[in-house]
Chain A
Amino acid sequence: MSDASYKPEELLITTFADLLDGVGHVAVGALSPIPGCAALLMQEEARQKGNDDVQVSIIHGDANNPFTDGGRELFDCAGQGRIGAFFLGGAEIDGEANINLLGVGDYPDLDKRFPGSFGSAYVYFVIPKVILFAPEHSKRVLVDKVEFISAPGTSPPEVHRPGGPKALVTGKCRMSFDAATKRFTLEFTHPGISVEEVRDNTGFDFDIAGDVPMTPEPDADRLALLRGSIGPKIAKTYPDFAARIFD
């Protein structure tokens, strides 16, 4: 991404926004400025096409936070199927889309402790389109097997699971996930990134369907919308991020 016309974060935002196309209600969890921007961008683009019915819910802050029944409401809403898409990160993500937000080492005697599983062990099951996000694309993050399963990528048929992972976006590429085969497929590589570079930096095996196109870059209209309209909105929840990316 040597092109100076946009920042790497802006490419991630527009990549996420493309993945959200057609979703009616996007919820954004804690510490997610890039997903938050993507959701607001998708909402604005839908509005420009005449669709005023896209809901974006950003928890914890006061802006874009529609919840009035406490911390449980996001989860209750999700359990009912009222939320279409959500983002999850992972200190480790493996080839079967299991995620680890908790730590590495022999639990409970961990060598390295991360914050914890947050709501992942629930939302991963009930929200239809969960998009995984790994800004650092490395073998440290994208591992063959996670050391602790905060939330499993797939479930046996007897477990009620209307939701789960559909895509993974990293600093180098975009992949899709198929629960039936329990495998990721490389769909796009970001500008300047080769398939080999993705493979060399990924700790799990993944599929490739033919030639891999480049991730679509944000065009001038999209960048103008992002910087002019979305930046000030996300600044209400993430002032530091907005100042760093859009000012």
Chain B
Amino acid sequence: MTVFEDLDGLAGRIDDGALVALSPDYSWVPMALVRTLIRRKAKDLSLLTVPIGGMAADMLIGAGVVGKLEAAAVSLGEAGPAPRFTDAVESGTLSVRDSTCPAIHTALQASEKGVPFMPLGGLIGSDLVKNRDDWKVVDDPLGTGGGPVVLLPAIKPDVALFHSPRADTQGNVWVGRRRELMTMAHASATSLITVEAIEDKDFLDDDDTAAGTLPAMYVGAIARAENGAWPQALSGHYERDMEHIRAYASQAKTADGFQAYLDAHVLAGDGA
């Protein structure tokens, strides 16, 4: 059964050292949960961005929550480079497994299917492959004339984290067209999800909602977090707070500025 609890309870379910899959800034990123994780001083998380990271990943890295990172890229998008990520890599304090977007999607699909690996085209000749000892280039094993392919091991996150406009009282969660959230949740041992609202109904009763619903069997726990994606957007509900994001991009350029940001917007508590 899906548990309903508060944000602190949800963050408490993420063990130090866990492999955590996180939705990207443009896809229902659980910013309130990210702030709660920083407040609870989570440590040594292995962070997987699906497939790229933004402000959420940058904040987790800056706050010392992340031990290892796997990502296709980390960037604040229109607001510029991700300053804490860039600084951590350039100063050698963050271990990064560099990937590429479809490799992360494919490795999660392998986990969805319960197979140990999946092949992906392209990639060969990229220095990414040279630097990934867990990826393997093999000749087409079926002899179909497709040439060499890269095999990617399944990625099985301990937990998937994202935000959603709504869950129902059965523990089902709406993802709509954000199907990467579905893949992430399927691939992970469990999902911890924040939502704007919990509706007293069963999304699976209606075909119109069922098709865009992550069923409760994949959902470990749900917490309410109003404006839980802020300052990022929740598509269809609210826009990005670009002014705030730009202010972060500028402030987080230095460690002191980042600490001041945390003091003002994270450590004082959500809704402060």
Contacts and interface: CB of A to CB of B under 8 A. Distances in A.
Contacts of A30: 52, 77
Nearest to B73: A116
Nearest to B126: A121
B81 interface: yes
A28 B147 CA distance: 28
Nearest to B139: A158
A103 B72 contact: no
Given A70-B183, A115-B82, A122 B103 contact: yes
Contacts of B180: 70-72
A150 B131 contact: no
Contact of B100 (A31, A111, A122, A160): A122
B6 to A, nearest CB: 29
Task: Tell me the dominant secondary structure on chain A's binding face.
Answer: loop
Given A101-B73, A119-B100, A108 B146 contact: no
Contact of A72 (B81, B102, B128): B102
Interface in B49-82: 50-52, 71-75, 77-78, 81-82
B250 interface: no
Contacts of A79: 102, 121
Task: Tell me the dominant secondary structure on chain B's binding face.
Answer: mixed
A107 to B, nearest CB: 6
Interface string A151-169: 1100110111000000000
Interface string B70-102: 011111011001100110011010001011111
A160 B146 contact: yes
A123 B126 CA distance: 12
25 contacts: A31-B78, A60-B26, A62-B235, A68-B177, A70-B179, A70-B182, A71-B101, A72-B106, A73-B179, A79-B121, A102-B98, A107-B131, A113-B89, A114-B81, A116-B98, A117-B73, A118-B73, A118-B100, A119-B51, A121-B123, A122-B102, A122-B121, A122-B122, A155-B124, A159-B147
